Copies of this chain bind each other. A is one copy, B any other.
Amino acid sequence: MKVSKERRSEHRAAILRVASRLFRERGPEGVSVAEIMQAAGLTHGAFYGHFESKEALLCEVLAVMLAEASDQLRDLGPGGLDDYAQGYVSRSHLDSPGEGCAVAALGGDVARQSAAVRSAFTSGLKMFLDAATETAGGCEDARSLALSRVSQLVGALIVARAVRSSDETLALELLGSITTAE
């Protein structure tokens, strides 16, 4: 049955919201269109009225997540990258990939996705790295420092999440080594 324009846009926003969480929690191949739609309170058939394909949804989700992360980082102001790093290696970030950094949650999958998805990720990441550079502190090689810092954060979180359920101590040690070093 038809639905008001307002409801329709609420539905679209709900799909994006739940997809954003589910993709990060389970990976692009670990979630089905039907699951996303069910979590959004709709049936699977309605999906293609909102998005051209599952792949198109992933592109949009990546773009939104990375834009939001860039804005959040920029809002922290000069030197904010250190604050960001502190939250990044926190216990809650380790435990909640569905609400955390898209790069850590989906970065390993992106290389295997279609060109459209890789392109969307790359555009978003550029924005994020620019924001990281701006908030890295005033030194001349801020860009290089920001890039290596982001690499470190992403790597530590990915590896910590991989070992977390088998060896929580090691997971926390990996995250702890970031703030300790440098």
| Interface, chain A (partner B; CB < 8 A) | 26-27, 29-30, 97, 103, 106-112, 115, 118-119, 121-123, 125-126, 129, 141, 143-145, 147-156, 158-159, 161-167, 170, 173-174, 176-178, 180-182
The answer on a CB contact under 8 Å between B155 and A122 is no
Shortest distance from the beta carbon of A105 to any chain B beta carbon, whole Å: 8
- How many copies of this chain does one complex carry? 2
Q: Is A170 a contact of B122 with CB atoms below 8 Å?
A: yes
Query: Is B156 in contact with A121, judged by CB distance below 8 angstroms?
Result: no
Pick from B97, B158, B174, B182: contact of A182, CB under 8 Å: B182
Residues of chain B within 8 A (CB-CB) of A162 are 107-108, 110-111, 118, 121-122, 125
The minimal Cβ–Cβ distance linking A70 to chain B, given in whole angstroms, is: 15
Q: Which 4 A-B pairs have the closest CB atoms?
A: A108-B108, A155-B155, A151-B156, A122-B166
Q: CA of A8 to CA of B91 in the docked complex: distance in angstroms? A: 47
Max chain B C-beta neighbours (<10 A), residue from A108, A173, A182: A108
Contact check, B122 vs A97: say whether CB atoms are below 8 A apart: no
On whether the beta carbons of B163 and A118 are closer than 8 Å, the reply is: yes
A170 to B110, CA, bound (A): 15
Q: Which of B111, B152, B159 contacts A125 (CB 8 A)?
A: B159
B111 touches A97 (CB 8 A): yes
Residue among B154, B164, B173, B181 making CB contact with A159, cutoff 8 Å: B154
CB–CB B30/A163 < 8 A: no
